[in-house]
Chain A
Amino acid sequence: DQQVKQNSPSLSVQEGRISILNCDYTNSMFDYFLWYKKYPAEGPTFLISISSIKDKNEDGRFTVFLNKSAKHLSLHIVPSQPGDSAVYFCAARKQGAQKLVFGQGTRLTINP
């Protein structure tokens, strides 16, 4: 069963506009959520995270929103830049656990 889902395999956004990537989860035991960015032939790199006690976390151009009642989180990138073109993974962790459960990823393409 897919506990973390990213239903959009791809997203195309114009440079300078806002990119919104979505993620849904099913397990209410998840208490910490992360977004990773991955370029081809490289490992995932950490982007931003949020604890379940918060509903928003911001870091520069990146903001993550968490809606616990809907079991939904989203990553907003504004303004989008060409270097943001990559695959983005949502991941979640159960309380007390070390392992992460990842979504399938969304390929973001920023068009000039």
Chain B
Amino acid sequence: GAGVSQSPRYKVAKRGQDVALRCDPISGHVSLFWYQQALGQGPEFLTYFQNEAQLDKSGLPSDRFFAERPEGSVSTLKIQRTQQEDSAVYLCASSYRTTFYGYTFGSGTRLTVV
């Protein structure tokens, strides 16, 4: 596609519910990133894939957060047993290079845990 596509755009989850957030990167982009942006803050790194390999997951806040990219294209960020502090905008970004070149962000998924 023309840009990085994320779905759903908005998600309301009850505390304790599991959620799955989807990211469709730009076609052919090798690198894929997930960031979490809390209200009034800048984006914070969660995890990074190069093709299907998860090369860095140092930013995942707990073992309730899990990301995958099984075929090196679409990625899913899963949050189990959601808590109120998980409320944030989750941004996905992709890049066509393996070396750093900056990346293109999607519009994000706004998750609200009630």
Contact = CB atoms under 8 A, between A and B. Distances in A.
A42 B5 CA distance: 11
Contacts of A32: 100
A34 B102 contact: yes
A92 to B, nearest CB: 11
Interface stretch (A62-70, A73-81, A98-106): A98-106
Interface residues of B, number: 23
A41 B43 contact: no
Contacts of B56: 98-99
A44 B43 contact: yes
B42 A98 contact: no
B45 interface: yes
A43 interface: yes
